[in-house]
Amino acid sequence: MGAQRSNGGNVRRLLIVDDEPGVQDVLRFAFKETCEVAVAASADAALDLLVRWPADLVLLDLVMPGRSGLDLLRELSERPARPPVIVLSALGTVSTAVEAMRLGALDYVTKPFEIDALRIKVEHALVRRELEREVERLRFEVHGRTRLGRLIGQSARMQEVFRTLERAAASKATVLVLGESGTGKELVARALHELSPRREAPFVALSCAALPETLIESELFGHERGAFTDAREKKIGRFEAASGGTLFLDEIGELSTTVQAKLLRALQERSIERLGGSGPIPVDVRVVAATHRDLEREVEAGRFREDLFYRIHVLPIGLPPLRERREDIRLLAESHLSRAKAAGERGPDRLTATALAALERYDWPGNVRELENALDRALALAEGEAIDLGDLPEAVVRAERLERLREEIRGGRLTLPEAIARFERECLEEALEAAAGNQTRAAERLGLTRRLMKLTMDRHGIGE
């Protein structure tokens, strides 16, 4: 078997299509050491076999009973994954050779052939085939990965997001990215641009939350000189700046209804007008919008225009919160740590098993962003060779301690009253810590009267 593999370790499949048993035997013998060889005695048999057994190279006789080799070539040229073909023929006429090459044959050999010369041609063709495969694989890796940007996720939920994303990227329709804070909405918007035919044109982002209403309009649509008091120069808006490319409108739920109306018009008419009146300027822009809000609820509450909602809700992409895809936490954490290491940050690039378990258990209300912040903090604090539980934020550690309490109760190692007492003590300490030792404020946080607070503290021997 070893002899049938190339250096890359792949099996090389050679299909011989010839009706003469003598030729079949000679060829089978010549290549059995270097290839897995199959033989078909007719064009039809070859076509059938190729469906089940994708060959890397076909040696094809032109003159056969039934359909000819040229017929086979013609038929193959319509198939999507067509193997390269070297044509063998006793005819040796130039016109047949030309016709075969025109139909996509790689090379041409006349019978009777020199077996060593044929071996060299076969070897070249197979190497070429392997290189093509390798290029294909690398192209997939480079484009597939970098165009998804830093987006990662092996969970079924994220894989689904990636599939939707690829489909959406090919279209021109407006995409609405929905998800809690820190779930990767901006990364998705960038990936959409990178995967789209617009990737060479600009990607322009604008956060609608960051600006007062008066500024948003001129940011979006630009203004003419003298359009308002401060407009000393003409200004191109983000719509025009994104021409041919993608405009990312982040936190679209924060737009005032006035600006919503203008945005709707721009999307419907595919043109904008600068403030101060320029007349309509056509813009070819693909809009990607994002929000952490429940836009349907905003529509019901009358804060978001229904017509704009339907206009941007064409292709929604919903990003799952991190707590609903815990299997990605390890991957995200490890990739963040190795990125930090590669950027020359101090600190370990590993997690202890305990720390990882705590990360995987925590609920991450701030999602991936919160996870990354927790890791950055841990990197700065960590003394050891790996990030340990103690290096993680209080909230994570506390959740982990609670979970262990639960486990101890389940395992019968702790009674409920003991567990409650421990829990109570932790809550007290936490509230006192948060209130910087001020007992009155700590009591308020816990919903206790000052007197009950004091009693509980005494019971635990705190503050004596």
Ligand X SMILES: Nc1ncnc2c1ncn2[C@@H]1O[C@H](COP(=O)(O)OP(=O)(O)OP(=O)(O)O)[C@@H](O)[C@H]1O
For the CB of residue 205, give the shortest distance to Mg ion in the complex, in Å.
9
By CB under 6 A, tell whether 76 contacts ligand X. no
Residue 82's alpha-carbon distances to 75, 119, 154, in angstroms, are: 10, 21, 32
Residue with tokens 């503290």: 457
Nearer to ligand X, 162 or 423 (CB): 162
DSSP β-bridge partners for residue 39: 16
Helix, strand and coil content of the chain, in percent to the nearest 5, comes to: 50, 15, 35
State the binding partner of 151 from Mg ion, ligand X, none, CB within 5 to 8 A by kind. ligand X
From the list 37-45, 88-96, 149-157, 430-438, the region that binds ligand X by CB under 6 A is: 149-157
Q: How far is the CB of 150 from ligand X (least distance, A)?
A: 5
- Residue 184 Cβ vs Mg ion, minimum distance, rounded to whole Å: 8
Q: Which of 246/439 has CB closer to ligand X? A: 246
Q: Is residue 72 within the footprint of ligand X (CB under 6 A)?
A: no
Comparing CB distances to ligand X, the nearer of 152 and 195 is 152
Which listed range, 115-123, 124-132, 175-183, 191-199, lies at the site for ligand X (CB under 6 A)? 175-183
Q: How far is CA 320 from CA 212, 403, 451, in A?
A: 30, 23, 45
Name the residue type at position 322: L
Does position 184 bind ligand X by CB under 6 A?
A: yes
Q: Which two tokens stand for residue 288?
A: 């990607």
Q: Can residue 186 be called a binding residue for ligand X (CB under 6 A)?
A: yes
Can you list the alpha helix ranges (DSSP code H) found in 287-413? Answer: 295-300, 306-312, 329-342, 353-361, 367-381, 394-410
Task: Quote the tokens at residue 314.
Answer: 């064409």
Contacts of ligand X in 287-306 (CB under 6 A): 292
Please say whether the beta carbons of 213 and 258 come within 8 A: yes
Euclidean distance between CA atoms 149 and 448, whole angstroms: 50
Q: How far apart are CA 337 and CA 331, in angstroms?
A: 10
Find which of Mg ion, ligand X, none residue 179 binds, CB within 5 to 8 Å per kind: ligand X
3-class SS at 300? helix
User: Is the bond preceding residue 112 a cis peptide, omega within 30 degrees?
Assistant: yes
Contacting residue, 69, 83, 179, 320, with ligand X by CB under 6 A? 179
Q: Is 237 in the site for ligand X (CB under 6 A)?
A: no
The site string for ligand X over 312-351 (x = CB under 6 A, - otherwise) reads --------------------x-------------------
Binding site for Mg ion (CB under 5 A): 186
DSSP 444: H
Q: Specify the stretch interacting with ligand X by CB under 6 A; choose among 29-37, 51-59, 219-227, 365-373.
A: 365-373
In the numeric block, which tokens belong to residue 42? 């007719």
- Judged by beta carbon distances under 5 to 8 A according to partner kind, the member of ligand X, Mg ion, none in contact with residue 368 is ligand X
Closest CB to Mg ion among residues 185, 274: 185
Q: Is residue 187 close enough to count as binding ligand X by CB under 6 A?
A: yes
Q: Phi/psi class of residue 260: alpha, beta or left (left: φ > 0; alpha: ψ in -120 to 50)? A: alpha
Residues that bind ligand X (CB under 6 A): 150-153, 179, 181-187, 292, 332, 368-369, 372
